[in-house]
Amino acid sequence: MNPRLSLLTVALLAATTSLAQTKKTAASFPEQRIPQAESEAHMRFLAADELQGRRTGSIGNQIAARYIAEQYRLMGLKPVTGQADFYQRIALERVGMASSGVFVTGNDSLKLGKDLVIMAGGPVDLSGEVVYAGYGLGDAEDGYNGRDVKGRIVVVQGGSPEAKGPQEIFRASNQKRKLAAEKGAAALVELYSESIPWGMVGQYFNREQIALPVAGVNAPLTHAWINNTNNKFGRLKEVGQRVVFRTSGRPKTAAPSMNVAGLIEGTDPTLKNEYVIVSAHFDHIGVGKQGGNAYSPSDSIFNGARDNAFGTVGLLTAAKALIEQRPKRSVLVLALTGEEVGLLGSRYYAENPLLPLKQTIFNLNIDGAGYNDTTIVSVIGLERTGAKAEIEAGARAFGLGVFAEPAPEQGLFDRSDNVSFAAKGVPAPTFSPGFKSFDADIAKYYHQAIDNPESLDFGYLHKFCQAYAHTARLIADRPTRPFWIAGDKYEAVGKELYK
């Protein structure tokens, strides 16, 4: 007997058995009956070229939000009590690129995009002696130290004595801008020589950004970083240094966007006061050079079919299944904007929750870069909360296995919207299309113009969405709340939240 055939027989038998079990476990739920055409239709709309890559604040992004809201209406979801509609509006702003800039010191003329990056602020045309203020983070000796900087160009050291990672470097930079503005400086210039390579800094900041205005931090002070690798411009720390600094500054315009939130009321008189948030981001990175990756005239739209129309379809599938047969706990269906531009939608929600966070017992997020294994779902944080059994049962009901913690080196748990909830203490794993490592098959589509719906396995998309819906149901029906496992880095903040 052919060994391959015998394997095939075993595989066929196994498939038949698992199909029979599937029917037994999930046949009575609406998620079993939703036709594949629905997932496909949602996907083909959300990832369509007409939506131009759904960049946060763009018309395409707002059309996606409108589509999601009207699907909620059609399904029978309700806005959260006190909300006029399904939108949680966020007044984001678009900060354009500086179109010109030059910084002259001695015989060196630093050019925009090469050794000079404009971080923020309006146009300036300044010349004069600079004031060096250490790290520019306070009034101590290694800071302003009593110097009067009103109307002056302030030069400071990049980073801070403690800052190591990008987040800390940017946070310190924002603090410096705020303080320099408070002190009445005319401009702030940082001598940058930190751990993130200068090339990446330039690439990131020499393009449009979408930002959440933060009081004080977005003061109109003009703020630049100059490339001080090898202490090339260390002389600017000395007294009597004269410079010329001219730039167009960065133009700001409103880029309103919104999270889309619909409520499904639980059936249990007590448990309905507890909320499970199902979430997925619906924004993507836009079109042409907004995408930050290669594109061609024939395909310049970053459709984001996998990232994250895929998850948005999962969210709509869960909404449809859960409203049709409601679970014991209430479920907030939350489509998030602004993920690609810094998790802005989820951060905004976590700071301005529509429902009390202490009654929000779980967040089951979906996000992903793509998939290369259609026999599994991958779950980032599977082992970190008490909902492992529900996640595995939810996937199993649709013939899918679960792979825990794919690509650990990528630090994915802290790179998607789930972390905005986790940081507040809410247990929050991310459900992801099947992959085990971030290999060439994933990179092929991740943030690339070819991530379009035509290249999808719609059968897998549908099963994935059904598995997600069923998992959400099992969690919302659990008699007890799933919490962080002991020793998790978010356990303490979780205890604090729920007391």
Binding residues for Zn ion (CB under 5 A): 307
Supply the minimum distance, in Å, between the C-beta of residue 395 and Zn ion: 23
CB 212, CB 92: distance < 8 Å: yes
Nearer to Zn ion, 144 or 431 (CB): 431
Closest CB to Zn ion among residues 101, 338 = 338
d(CA 284, CA 302): 7
Positive or negative, the CA dihedral 184, 189, 192, 197 is positive
Q: Both tokens of residue 48? A: 């369509």
Looking at the Cβ atoms of 265 and 439, the one nearer to Zn ion is 439
Residues 408 and 438 sit within 8 Å (Cβ to Cβ) = no
Residues 6+ apart with CB under 8 A from 490: 384, 422, 423, 425, 427, 484
Of the pair 194, 307, the CB lying nearest Zn ion is at: 307
Return d(Cα 116, Cα 122) in angstroms, integer.
15
Give the contacts of 374 (CB within 8 A, at least 6 positions apart). Answer: 434, 457, 459, 460
Nearer to Zn ion, 307 or 417 (CB): 307
What's the min distance (Å) between Cβ of 155 and Zn ion?
36
Give the C-alpha separation, 303 to 326, whole Å. 33
Min dist. Cβ of residue 65 to Zn ion (A): 17
Residue type for position 449: A
Nearest residue (CB) to Zn ion, 205 versus 282: 282
- The residue (of 307 and 390) whose beta carbon lies closer to Zn ion is 307
How far apart, in whole angstroms, are the C-alpha atoms of residue 449 and residue 333? 28
Query: DSSP H helical segments within 130-283, as ranges?
Result: 166-182, 198-205
Q: Please state the closest distance from residue 283 (CB atom) to Zn ion, in A.
A: 9
To the nearest whole angstrom, how small is the minimum distance from the Cβ of residue 405 to Zn ion? 19
Q: What is the 3-state secondary structure (H, E, C) of 141-155?
A: CCCCCCCCCCCCEEE
Going through 194-282 in order, the beta strands assigned E by DSSP cover 209-211, 222-227, 242-247, 252-254, 257-264, 275-281
Element (H, E) at 125: strand 124-132
Backbone dihedral angles phi then psi of residue 280, each to the nearest 5 degrees: -160, 145
CB-based contact 390:474 (threshold 8 Å):
yes
Q: How many CB atoms lie within 10 A of CB 343?
A: 20
Backbone angles phi, psi at 123, to 5 degrees: -70, 145
**Beta strand pairing call for 360-366 and 430-433:** parallel
Residue 310 CB, nearest approach to Zn ion (Å): 11
Q: What is the radius of gyration, based on Cα positions, of the chain?
A: 25
Q: At what angle do helices 310-324 and 458-477 cross, to 10 degrees?
A: 50
DSSP letter at 78 equals: B
Q: Judged by CB, which is closer to Zn ion: 338, or 394?
A: 338
Give per-residue burial for 300-314: e unless 16+ CB within 10 Å, then b. Answer: bbbbbbbbbbbbbbb
Query: Which residue has the CB atom at the shortest distance from Zn ion?
Result: 307
To Zn ion, the closest distance from the beta carbon of 466 in angstroms equals 23
**Distance of closest approach, residue 308 Cβ to Zn ion, in angstroms:** 7
Residue 191 has which token pair? 């001598």
Taking the complex as a whole, the smallest distance from the CB of residue 48 to Zn ion amounts, in Å, to: 18
In angstroms, give the least distance from the CB of 261 to Zn ion.
21
How would you class 328 by CB atoms within 10 Å of its CB: exposed for 0-12, middle for 13-18, buried for 19 or more? middle
Q: How far is the CB of 447 from Zn ion (least distance, A)?
A: 6
> Which residue's CB is nearer to Zn ion, number 304 or number 494?
304
Q: Give the shortest CB-58-to-Zn ion separation in angstroms.
A: 15
Comparison of 218 and 432: residue with beta carbon closer to Zn ion: 432
Closest to Zn ion by CB, 304 or 434: 304
